[in-house]
Amino acid sequence: MKNTIFVFKEGIPKYKQIYEQLKLYIENGNIPVNEQLPSIRQLADSLSVSRNTTLNAYEQLLAEGYIYSEGRKGYFVTEFEQSLFTNISSPVISNETDVVEHVIDFRAGAVDQQHFPLKIWRRISNHILTLKNSYQYGDPFGEECLREQISSYLFQSRGVNTNTNNIIIGSGTQQMLINLGKLLKEDFSSVIVEDPGYVGAREAFKFHDLSLESLPIFESGTDFSNLDLLMSRLIYVTPSHQSPLGVSMAIPERLRLIHWNNSRQGFIIEDDYDSEFRYTQKPFPALASLDSTRVIYLGNFSKSFLPGIRISYMVLPELLINQYKEQFHSFECTASLPNQLAMAKFMKEGEWNRHIKRMRLIYKRKMHCIVSELRSHFQQTVTIIGDQSGLFVLVKVHLNQSEEWLIKQASLHGVKVYPTSVYSIKNNSDEPIIKLGFSNLTYAEIKLGICLLKEAWS
Amino acid sequence: MKNTIFVFKEGIPKYKQIYEQLKLYIENGNIPVNEQLPSIRQLADSLSVSRNTTLNAYEQLLAEGYIYSEGRKGYFVTEFEQSLFTNISSPVISNETDVVEHVIDFRAGAVDQQHFPLKIWRRISNHILTLKNSYQYGDPFGEECLREQISSYLFQSRGVNTNTNNIIIGSGTQQMLINLGKLLKEDFSSVIVEDPGYVGAREAFKFHDLSLESLPIFESGTDFSNLDLLMSRLIYVTPSHQSPLGVSMAIPERLRLIHWNNSRQGFIIEDDYDSEFRYTQKPFPALASLDSTRVIYLGNFSKSFLPGIRISYMVLPELLINQYKEQFHSFECTASLPNQLAMAKFMKEGEWNRHIKRMRLIYKRKMHCIVSELRSHFQQTVTIIGDQSGLFVLVKVHLNQSEEWLIKQASLHGVKVYPTSVYSIKNNSDEPIIKLGFSNLTYAEIKLGICLLKEAWS
């Protein structure tokens, strides 16, 4: 540490630069484990910065577990296993250009890094790169070995009886909806979407200038009362776990929807984006398992494996598959070929089932943790919505404050929380509903976050 | 020319500096049209460099059409209205799957597996999976760290002066063309495509129901004679290395095309899909380097790294970038996030440049091998097209046999060769042209393949 030279850059807070530099030294082993760091005052003096600056840097390192404090003795470098090191959480980096540094970010859409099967995935990925197939162009509709695995997984886990020929692999729900829309817009000029619902799907339908009709969703479930008054014969739904309200469609509703659709000769687009993570019962069967004649089933590996892997799939009914293949046979598959091959092997070796099982338990515990924290801090001030499945929970806040105020207050207390009003077309909630993702937070972070939220909203 | 002073910089080959300087003089009109350049010896002496150095510089200028040679008289500056030079080089991919087991498959679209930087790529990929970023959703327009690397690569290697903000990362040329088409179809109802040309691009334009006009391409180059008669203001071209005929657009042609496009207020879509592999000279500068106001530049890592990695990019001009971002800000990026991060690190560490350099040499040797084999076995029976660049070569077969017969005969002898007629709209070759990819074949395989081909066609 004695020879450490800091050259401060312009435009970046000094505490952050100190923090970054120290982190790097620790990661690279330049500062040995259990070595004592200079005191806050010593470091401040030697760098000619304020004590507050060095204090902030140390606090950040402390919070992230790079160092530990021994009361009055000072700060020491944490003992860690090199490979595990990066699993110790650091602040979530958000896409939004945001000036505020948040201590806790309740962003949904990340997965638990600590329990990712890193070693197994590395082994498989490394092996895949020795195969000749990895050096060529792949199948335009996705690698057959992966389609096989998906097919048997869907049968076991979702009751969907399909075959490799009807599965199309793509690189995300929206990318697949764009392709699908090309086909469907020949026969359909509008589509029914959930309100509130997944914005990404709506945007993909707008890509093809399909007009939108809306199906109201409430905390109590989907409102089917006006279904027969809607003009469209195409409907996009998230029946297993509605996005964002978290409700699930019960069997009578599912059957009703299928019947309605069949009688209209329409198509249901079933987005089953995170059905793996249901905590109270086993996952509900997919619509496509009840009657797949006119159901287009969409799934992906974003929530269950890695959002960035960009592998998704759809199961097309017999009525569409040939037309789809004719339309897209000269289009390259957009999903990474080595990743597809690795995922196929990962599934074939049984690792996928083990991973899902493990993660379900972990996320269940985290869900339980956030729900208890919310209950104990807020009691009747909030209503918890959607705590039976998924990687986020919603809270309806009975404080007579706007969504904007709630988010802003949280932010001022170092907590980033998310709105749900953005998902609505016209079916707005009477009281604000806040979205809290927790998948990549530790229990300690969840607890701290809810505690800070309590302060923020008091 | 007499007062020309060259001050050589460190670290850049001298021939390249001479070439750049002369190019600049010619472009700026400092050396008048048809003026004779100093001889190779004179220039070498006056600059105190070897004759080989000045020869290389002249050859590059000659190949790109800046100068012409008049036999023993010497070298002269090209008149820019004329299209004097065209360079023969080569083309791209094929998706077909086939049941027959072939001994040798001259399929294009694979890359050399043996020289893939497996260890380095593994190390980097493994590291990437320890980063927190890998467990989240990424930037909808691609990771900034990769856009930064692409930006500096494009500047160094292709002369394209852009910035991270104008680069969009996608998962393949077609996927990007589909997105781009959404924007362009507002103002354009048709597009000019090369004939013969890349089928994938035509399909992507058809996705948006754009009608196609065709620009005839011959072994001798692009036929611009009817350019002014075409109605479209949108044109898709592969100027560095035409797909599939392998010709390169000389500078006068490039300037003419840009001028034509600017006067029409149209857009040129420049697909620079494999410009890294030019064997006789350094890669030609991109159209987008000459004038990027109305040029949309497309590039990818398929030929130069791995076809299956599905990372591509486009550089959008200022006229389009904001509109594009507005349209697509709620769409997820379709390229794998860990792969993007790994590629960024691979480039940042200098591995990308080393890889390209190494592969250029390897492919050059393979090209040399296949060309010598073809010459020695077939002599005047075939004409070799496109042997100056790319990962395949074309042979025009003077045997009075159909393309179909040639492919079938080859197949019966265990050799899979590929048609080029599929690339044509109406501009069909008078004699069949067969496509032979060699990138993932060993020298022995290439030799055996050509030997078998000789038998098959005898």
pLDDT, tens only, B265-278? 999 999 999 888 88
Q: What is the pLDDT of residues B343-364, one digit of tens each?
A: 999 999 999 999 999 999 999 9
| Average pLDDT for A322-346 | 97
pLDDT band at A101 (very low <50, low <70, confident <90, very high): low
B163 touches A: beta carbon within 8 Å: no
Among A84-98, B52-66, B137-151, B397-411, the range scoring the smallest mean pLDDT is: A84-98
| A330–B136 C-beta distance less than 8 A | no
Residue A176 has pLDDT above 50, yes or no: yes
**Chain A hits for B93, Cβ within 8 Å:** 137
Nearest chain B residue (CA) to A115: B135
**Chain B hits for A200, Cβ within 8 Å:** 330-332
The pLDDT, as a whole number, for residue A3 is: 41
B226 touches A: beta carbon within 8 Å: no
How many helices (H) and strands (E) are present in chain A, helices listed first? 14, 16
Percent of chain B predicted with pLDDT > 70: 93
Residues contacting A258, CB < 8 A, separation 6+: A268, A287, A290, A291, A294, A295
Max Cα separation, chain A? Answer: 78
| B107–A113 C-beta distance less than 8 A | no
| Average pLDDT for A413-442 | 94
Percent of chain B predicted with pLDDT > 90: 69
Residue A351 has pLDDT above 60, yes or no: yes
- Which one has a higher pLDDT value, A12 or A371? A371
| Interface mutation vs chain B, best among A94, A107, A175, most B CBs within 10 Å | A175
The one-letter amino acid at A214:
S
| A129–B122 C-beta distance less than 8 A | yes
The pLDDT, as a whole number, for residue A449 is: 95
The pLDDT, as a whole number, for residue B5 is: 54
The pLDDT, as a whole number, for residue A90 is: 36
The pLDDT, as a whole number, for residue B20 is: 82
- Which one has a higher pLDDT value, B19 or B355? B355
> For B95, how many CA atoms within 13 A lie in the half-sphere containing its CB?
16
**Chain A hits for B203, Cβ within 8 Å:** 330-331
The model carries a pTM of: 0.80
The pLDDT, as a whole number, for residue A94 is: 39
| B95–A329 C-beta distance less than 8 A | yes
| Average pLDDT for B165-177 | 97
Q: What are the phi and psi torsion angles at B418 (to 5°)?
A: -125, 145
Tokens of A252: 């009578």
- Which one has a higher pLDDT value, B230 or B6? B230
How far A379 CA lies from chain B's nearest CA (Å)?
A: 32
A379 vs A154, A373, A444, CA distance in Å?
40, 10, 20
What average pLDDT does the structure give for chain A? 89
The pLDDT, as a whole number, for residue A53 is: 85
The pLDDT, as a whole number, for residue B95 is: 40
Domain ranges of chain B: 14-86, 104-109+354-457, 118-349
The pLDDT, as a whole number, for residue A63 is: 66
| Average pLDDT for A347-372 | 96
User: What is the b/e burial string over A136-148, where b = at least 16 CB atoms within 10 angstroms of the residue's CB?
Assistant: bbbbbbbbbbbbb
Residue B1 has pLDDT above 80, yes or no: no
The CATH code that applies to domain B118-349 is 3.40.640.10
The pLDDT, as a whole number, for residue B53 is: 87
Class of domain B104-109+354-457: alpha beta
| Average pLDDT for B183-205 | 96
Which range, A440-444, B2-6, B63-67, B321-325, has the best average confidence (pLDDT)? Answer: B321-325
> CA angle A450-A451-A453, nearest 5°?
60
| Interface mutation vs chain B, best among A186, A336, A438, most B CBs within 10 Å | A336
Residue A272 in 3-state DSSP? coil
The pLDDT, as a whole number, for residue A30 is: 73
DSSP B318: H
| Average pLDDT for B152-167 | 94
| Average pLDDT for B136-157 | 95
The pLDDT, as a whole number, for residue B373 is: 97
A400 touches B: beta carbon within 8 Å: no
| A85–B337 C-beta distance less than 8 A | no
Residue A380 has pLDDT above 70, yes or no: yes
The pLDDT, as a whole number, for residue A274 is: 86
Q: Could you please state the CATH topology (level 3) that the domain comprising B14-86 is classified under.
A: Arc Repressor Mutant, subunit A (1.10.10)
Q: What is the pLDDT of residues A105-144, one digit of tens each?
A: 999 989 999 999 999 999 999 999 999 999 999 999 999 9
pLDDT band at A50 (very low <50, low <70, confident <90, very high): confident
Tokens of B379: 């002599």
The pLDDT, as a whole number, for residue A250 is: 85
- Which one has a higher pLDDT value, A43 or B79? A43
pLDDT band at A97 (very low <50, low <70, confident <90, very high): very low
Looking at A295-429, list the stretches that DSSP marks H as alpha helix, in order from N- to C-terminal side.
318-328, 337-348, 351-378, 403-412
Residue A279 has pLDDT above 60, yes or no: yes
What average pLDDT does the structure give for chain B? 89
Residue B3 has pLDDT above 60, yes or no: no
Residue B31 has pLDDT above 60, yes or no: yes
Residue B212 has pLDDT above 60, yes or no: yes
The pLDDT, as a whole number, for residue B84 is: 28
A193: which strand partners?
Answer: A214, A236
Q: What is the pLDDT of residues B413-438, one digit of tens each?
A: 999 999 999 999 998 899 999 999 99
Nearest chain A residue (CA) to B111: A135
The pLDDT, as a whole number, for residue B97 is: 39
Residue B179 has pLDDT above 70, yes or no: yes
